[in-house]
Chains A and B, each alone.
Chain A
Amino acid sequence: QVQLVQSGAEVKKPGSSVKVSCKASGGTFTNFVFSWIRQAPGQGLEWMGRIIPIHGTINSAQKFQGRVTITADKSTSTVYMELNSLRSEDTSMYYCAKYTDSGDGFDVWGQGTMVTVSS
């Protein structure tokens, strides 16, 4: 049973950066593809990007290109999402999620990390 455990809540100032971690357990890390998805308070889901750890391929949504960095550490089975130049609109719950084996859909989710951007 694959589990994803994310780092704790963060409060950041506008203009700063945040780095959220997501540690996978219960499976073979390099067999998986991970995405980051965020959800502003009371709003819908927004796909941010994905990483394929086995060969390091990274794709991100156009909206976040240049501002988001997604990485993976195979030695610790952990994926990271760093978002810089934070603004108040980035206040959201950030989720990591694993794609299904077929590549469609996200079948395992982390518990979420609340990032609050406030002066």
Chain B
Amino acid sequence: QSALTQPASVSGSPGQSITISCTGSSNNVGSYNFVSWYQQLPGKAPKLIIFEVNKRPSGISDRFSASKSGNTASLTISGLQAEDEAHYYCCSYAGSRTFSVFGGGTKVTVL
């Protein structure tokens, strides 16, 4: 049972926008602006695509955007492309005793 709850799967057609939610609690997402998102392609290590709620590392497409409201963070992929088909994980800081917690992951399928 992951500390952060994500939908198991989300799908969309090429060109569409999709949003993945990440629901935590006041112990993690709701209390800190330290939410990150990762894209994991099959057989590969995860790749950071968002940090500090809504910042993109250098080289990450601006088709990826993110936000947070209360205990829920969200990742939006706009202009969906076939190469976006992957698993996506959210992660939040959860204080100085628990540190980092992950969501269970969301499989994105491009129809």
Given contacts A102-B52, A106-B46, A107-B48, contact A45 B99 (CB under 8 A): no
- When distances are taken between beta carbons in the complex, the residues of chain B under 8 Å from A102 are 51-52
Q: Which A residues have a C-beta under 8 Å from some C-beta of B? A: 35, 37, 44-47, 49-50, 59, 61-62, 95, 100, 102-107, 109-112
Does the CB pair A45–B52 fall under 8 Å?
no
Q: Which B residues have a C-beta under 8 Å from some C-beta of A? A: 2, 34-36, 38, 45-48, 50-52, 57, 89, 91, 93, 96-105
Query: How far, in whole Å, are A41 and B104 apart by their CA atoms in the complex?
Result: 13
- When distances are taken between beta carbons in the complex, the residues of chain B under 8 Å from A106 are 36, 38, 46, 48, 91
Does the CB pair B2–A44 fall under 8 Å?
yes
Chain B CB within 10 A, most for which of A100, A105, A109: A105
